[in-house]
Amino acid sequence: MLHASKNIRTIYVSICSFWVIKKENPLIHKLYLYICVKNVSLEHEQNFVQCLKQHSPLLWQEWEQSSYNISSAQNKKVRCIESQHVHQIWKETLQKIVKWLDFDAYVLSEEQAQLMPELLVSDMDSTLIEWEVIDELAVMAGVGKQVADITEQAMQGLLDFETSLRQRVACLQGLHVEAIARLQKQLPLSQGAESLLKACKLQRVETALVSGGFMPFVEALQQRLGIDHVVANHLETQESILTGHVHGQIVDADFKAEFLKLLATKAPSERKTTVAVGDGANDLAMLQAADIGFAYHAKPIVAKAADIAIVHGGLDLIAYHFGWIR
């Protein structure tokens, strides 16, 4: 089994697509298993099969019975499998075995497998960027541990988001806005973020950043990356000092989902095909409102609920999935 260092990993994506062919046999589910890896090799496939055999002999037998790949290219292998097991069983099994691999595997419905997005909506903190910005502001304010503990509870879904946000912002009272200006210049992009957004532009896919964080930071990323739409919370200031309050509409889970739906509306009876990506409990409603929801290095509750959980790869995995980068 491969145990390559995460820093030198060349594996980008393993995609599993699933669909039911009712007309042929309502008890048989036809699966198309995709292993998409940069410089894909027989070893990658062998590692996948070994893990599948260990964790689910029944699914492994179906893999073996299919006996051949219907497509094999530099970055992708595709195998057609006729399965007696439903989507959820494959999804849960793959979510277990990816922990033992250093690439990602997942399953989609027939409808989802054929989608080509027109709109991509992303969370900011710990998704498009590596940081939780409010935690960085808290460090600068000398209340880092206190705020980080509240943030973690909120991300795990153990604390109401609005309550947690107001508690954390209250801890920032007295911080000068110069701290915001310094952090705006230092925002570290997540692996593959820039490649994904460049691919979206080339494919004319509309992009949006919706964050439970703060406007100065989403605006900085908009200017840096050319994102079409941004929305986040507003920090209240007085004489260039944070008051410890937010003003206006709170960007919570419901707001994120409604924002996606608003952007997706082309006409009263038309809707853009949407993809959403996030990592925390505050993103769940948005991921479920999208046609395909990607959980990115997410908390367990989010990874389990999302259509696709990216455990090892970067955000460019999304671009590889849709064939925007080869």
Q: How many Cα atoms occupy the beta-carbon half-sphere of 93 within 13 Å?
A: 20
- Cα separation, 30 vs 113, in Å, equals 13
Q: Are 228 and 283 in contact (CB under 8 A)?
A: no
- Tokens 């497509």 sit at which residue? 71
For residues 155 and 295, give the distance between their C-alpha atoms in angstroms, rounded to a whole number: 13
Q: Which two tokens stand for residue 324?
A: 């925007």
| Dihedral angle over CA of 123, 126, 131, 137, nearest 10 | 60
Residue type, 250: I
Q: Whole-angstrom Cα distance, residue 154 to residue 164? A: 6
Q: How far apart are CA 272 and CA 32, in angstroms?
A: 26
125 is an active site residue: yes
| 98 φ, ψ (degrees, to nearest 5) | -65, -20
Asked if residues 105 and 16 have their Cβ atoms less than 8 Å apart, the reply is: yes
User: Under 8 Å CB-to-CB from 241, ≥6 apart: which residues?
Assistant: 174, 175, 176, 177
* Pairing between β-strand 69-73 and β-strand 29-35 as defined by DSSP bridges: unpaired
123 is catalytic: yes
> Of 125, 135, 279, 307, which one is the catalytic site residue?
125
**Extended strands (E) in 89-228:** 119-122, 206-214
Most distant pair of Cα atoms in the chain: their distance: 71
Rounded CA gap, 224 and 185, in Å? 10
Calpha distance 315→40 (Å, rounded): 19
Catalytic choice (123, 279, 283, 307): 123
Nearest partner of 263 among 287, 292, 228, judged by Cα: 228
Catalytic residues: 123, 125
